Chains A and B, each alone.
Chain A
Amino acid sequence: MSAPGKTEPTEAIARARAGDADAWGELYREYAPAMFRFCRRALPTREDAEDATMEIFMKLRDKLIQYDDTRSFSAWLYKVAANHCWDLLRRRKIRQDKETEDVADIPLEHPDPNQLDKMIEQSTSDEVRKALGKLGARARMALVMRYYSDMSYDEIADALGVRRAFVGVVLLRARHELRQALGDTGAPAAGGAS
């Protein structure tokens, strides 16, 4: 899951594990911005994101030894970050989403493809980010895990504590919430049966 053309920082990881402070500095410099952005998308406020980023890197000190060299470092990093952010949200009891079973029972309105297309055409990245902030914790978390850090369905299921088969449902519901939020911000809503 590392970025294209980006090599794994194997040497820096090895040195960081051996206690090389400079190596840890390299890793931090390399990944802190991405981690902050992840937290910024996943958590409600900027302060939360800053705190969480620091806490994640503090946590990584303990966990670096558990990292499996054969896997992508950034993927592993995102997994740690996702677990941390989700734990944080759960602890704060601001998780407003209903349980999976409830989610499964709520029918979703089928969108008008043309209207959806138009809405997406007119929406800017900034609007999407603002709309993202209006979503429930789980919806936001699911979208961030999927579309920011490219986590697999298995990883998302694991992080959110839902069955893998429901990850698609969670993501689809999140998209619907997002469309609704985008509609509220001015973009044309994509709801309504065709």
Chain B
Amino acid sequence: MSDMDNPRDPAAPANPGSGGGDSGGRASEHLDEMACLLYIERQLERVRAAEVSTHTQECNGCRTLLRAMERESRLLTRAMLEEDEALPARLAHFQERARRSMQWIWGVAFGLAATGVYALYSGYIEPWEQQLAQAGFGGTSLLNLLIFQGVFWKGWQSVITLLEVVAMLTLGGFGLAFFRKRLRRGSTALALVLTGFCAVGALLTAPPASAQDVRKGETVEIRSDETVKGDVFIFTHRARIDGTVDGDVFLFTQDASVGGHVKGDVIAFVQSLRVSGQVDGNVRAFTNNVTLTGTVTRNLMAFAELVNVDPSGKVGGSVTAFVQSLNLDGQVGRNLFTFVRQGTISGTVDGKIDAKGNNLRFNSSAKVAGPIRFEGDNPPDVSSDAKLASPVQFTKLEHKAKYEESGYYIWQVIWMAAFVLFGLVLFQLMPMFSTEAVDSVEHYGASFGLGVLVFFGVPIASLIACATVVGLFIGISTFFLWYAALYYAQVVVGALVGQWLLGRTREIWPLIGRMAVGVIIVRLCTTVPHVGGWVKFGVMLWGMGAISLALYRRFQPATAAGVPGAPMVSTTLPPNTTIGGAVPA
């Protein structure tokens, strides 16, 4: 113990019999309790301690007090250090259980993920894939379709490489963050260097980009006598392609006109696109308006305000259009899928039509070889001269506010019950983790901050993982866990709300009871018109952050491997214990 100035506390009790009100007193004066305590605990200055020692040799009363207090200290220490209770089994197996529970979590996670992947594939991806295949997006899988073989990315090897590098850096960053606490000082620099090497390695080993021709300027023109080998990227104000491109054309322009021959695809991010020539591949347009007077051998897909397929326009494959206004006067070789506000069909569709929107009109010159389904606000306007293979199957869209429907409230009750059941199962399966997650909810700032990060970051990371070497499975599994966490988040926040109302508890069944009460309240809040959605969003962020925080703590390095029941440890007196210190003679 360090030496200490004589505190001379005003509160130091004086010895009524001594007449010495000073806490320390002088050698000739009787000692008060404070002086005795500080002496026993070696908190007095050397000189003062010597005075106390001298006094106690002479004064029987003070010596008795000092010894009594010293014995009191011994008694206190002995009483505290005695092993009167064995380590509770809950603590003895605390870490082993934690380890086991985590194994369980992983088992459940992978099981759920596998189930989810199957359900996703069979329920959503496969049907979409079939539809997309019909629309001309050939490919062996959705990933190939979207990333590797799809026309969106064809020729964008450099972009894929960039994504890979970003993913590598992201993984490196995660790794660095994960191992940061394990790394001794100085090793952080080493880790950074390693991460840098990984990134550089990824860049060096990336396959070289295919032949590309990048053209910029106020106006870019490929003349009719010009032939471009490979893909061409055009960044300009006005683009005019009258020549031949033996590859894909990527347009980033205000106005673009394709009057020549493109042997690949045309990917256009333009305000106005006019295709009067021939495109052997597909046209993918993200534009204000598209006008097709020429020929597209494969498919046309457009996100646009206006799409016009003139009478001379011809699409060999399918047309997929998300547009405000569609005028189809030309010919479509296969199907038409469209979300449209105002659609007018005057041309020929050799396949089927699936449309959703406000109005759809079939003029007298319209010819449709396949079935027609229209889901809209108004019945389709079909000319009596139109040649349709079958009548239009019309389904009227209903825009009734969900709050006005009784079914909405029934479903809310069902959802509440489902949430309570979901929470019950999770709290039973993972009692410790659930408790930790509920505790973490109370770290408001950390939970919200982490929640925002995870809410937006994980889907992006999953997407990146899907697009790179990390693999589709990890990406989709992560996404499903994230999705499940959205629901779990509401459960843990509900548990906290329940604890606010009914008091705290560490026992699992009382906690489940509180969770049930809290979940009902949270769900009720989320049904409030106009603000309910925001409440739900906030709860999701909050709860997801708490779950992430609890997970983060679980994944800290300190989780031990199987620890057997902790044996009793005989704790002897600490060496600095003052008991047995300077005892007066």
CB within 8 Å of B: which residues of A? 1-6, 16-22, 24-25, 28-34, 36-37, 40-41, 46-47, 50-51, 53-54, 57-58, 60-62, 64-65, 103-111, 113-114, 116-117, 120-121, 123, 125-126, 128-129, 132, 143-144, 146-150, 152-154, 164-166, 168-169, 171-172, 175, 178, 190, 193-194
Contact residues in A for B85 (Cβ distance below 8 Å): 36-37, 40, 46
Instruction: Answer whether residue B205 sits at the interface, using C-beta atoms and an 8 A cutoff.
Output: no
User: When the two chains form their complex, are residues B78 and A125 in contact, meaning their CB atoms are under 8 A apart?
Assistant: yes
CB within 8 Å of A: which residues of B? 1-2, 4-5, 7, 9-17, 32-34, 37-38, 41, 43, 61-62, 64-65, 67-69, 71-73, 75-85, 87-88, 90-92, 94-95, 99, 179, 181-182, 184, 436, 506, 553, 556-564, 566-569, 571-577
Those 9 A-B pairs whose CB atoms lie nearest each other, nearest first: A25-B560, A61-B558, A128-B79, A104-B11, A19-B557, A61-B556, A150-B574, A125-B79, A113-B65
Among the interface residues B7, B75, B77, which one has the most CB atoms of the partner chain A within 10 A?
B75
A16 to B184, CA, bound (A): 12
A27 to chain B, nearest CB (A): 8
Contact residues in A for B38 (Cβ distance below 8 Å): 168
Contact residues in B for A46 (Cβ distance below 8 Å): 85, 88
Known contacts being A24-B558, A36-B91, is A108 close to B9, with CB within 8 Å? no
User: When the two chains form their complex, are residues A154 and B91 in contact, meaning their CB atoms are under 8 A apart?
Assistant: no
Among the interface residues B2, B37, B65, which one has the most CB atoms of the partner chain A within 10 A?
B65
A144 to B574, CA, bound (A): 13
Contact residues in A for B69 (Cβ distance below 8 Å): 116, 175
A1 to B576, CA, bound (A): 7
A194 to B567, CA, bound (A): 48
User: When the two chains form their complex, are residues B75 and A123 in contact, meaning their CB atoms are under 8 A apart?
Assistant: yes
User: When the two chains form their complex, are residues B75 and A128 in contact, meaning their CB atoms are under 8 A apart?
Assistant: yes
User: When the two chains form their complex, are residues A168 and B575 in contact, meaning their CB atoms are under 8 A apart?
Assistant: no
Give B15's nearest chain A residue, CB to CB: A110
User: When the two chains form their complex, are residues B72 and A116 in contact, meaning their CB atoms are under 8 A apart?
Assistant: yes
User: When the two chains form their complex, are residues B91 and A128 in contact, meaning their CB atoms are under 8 A apart?
Assistant: no
User: When the two chains form their complex, are residues B557 and A117 in contact, meaning their CB atoms are under 8 A apart?
Assistant: no
Which of A105, A117, A129 is close to B67, meaning CB atoms less than 8 Å apart?
Answer: A117
Instruction: Pull 20 A–B residue pairs with CB atoms less than 8 Å apart, ordered by A.
Output: A3-B572, A6-B572, A17-B182, A19-B179, A25-B563, A37-B83, A47-B506, A50-B91, A54-B91, A116-B72, A117-B71, A125-B82, A126-B79, A128-B76, A128-B79, A129-B79, A148-B77, A153-B43, A175-B69, A194-B15
A123 to B72, CA, bound (A): 10
A143 to chain B, nearest CB (A): 6
Which of A1, A29, A57, A103 is close to B575, meaning CB atoms less than 8 Å apart?
Answer: A1
Give B65's nearest chain A residue, CB to CB: A113
Which of A33, A58, A125 is close to B75, meaning CB atoms less than 8 Å apart?
Answer: A125
Contact residues in B for A62 (Cβ distance below 8 Å): 181, 553, 556
User: When the two chains form their complex, are residues B37 and A168 in contact, meaning their CB atoms are under 8 A apart?
Assistant: yes
A164 to chain B, nearest CB (A): 7
Give A74's nearest chain B residue, CB to CB: B574
A85 to B130, CA, bound (A): 62
Add 9 more A-B contacts to A28-B95, A33-B83, A107-B11 (CB < 8 A): A2-B574, A25-B560, A54-B94, A123-B75, A125-B84, A147-B73, A165-B7, A168-B43, A194-B16
Which of B61, B83, B87 is close to A113, meaning CB atoms less than 8 Å apart?
Answer: B61
A116 to B138, CA, bound (A): 94
Contact residues in B for A172 (Cβ distance below 8 Å): 13, 33-34, 37
Contact residues in A for B14 (Cβ distance below 8 Å): 110
Contact residues in B for A153 (Cβ distance below 8 Å): 1-2, 4, 41, 43
User: When the two chains form their complex, are residues B562 and A58 in contact, meaning their CB atoms are under 8 A apart?
Assistant: no
Contact residues in B for A147 (Cβ distance below 8 Å): 73, 76-77, 80, 577
Among the interface residues A31, A109, A117, which one has the most CB atoms of the partner chain B within 10 A?
A117
A111 to B16, CA, bound (A): 10
A169 to B1, CA, bound (A): 17
A109 to B33, CA, bound (A): 10
Contact residues in B for A126 (Cβ distance below 8 Å): 79, 84
Give A55's nearest chain B residue, CB to CB: B439
Give B550's nearest chain A residue, CB to CB: A58
User: When the two chains form their complex, are residues A4 and B566 in contact, meaning their CB atoms are under 8 A apart?
Assistant: no
A19 to B68, CA, bound (A): 49
User: When the two chains form their complex, are residues A24 and B33 in contact, meaning their CB atoms are under 8 A apart?
Assistant: no
Give B14's nearest chain A residue, CB to CB: A110
A34 to B81, CA, bound (A): 9
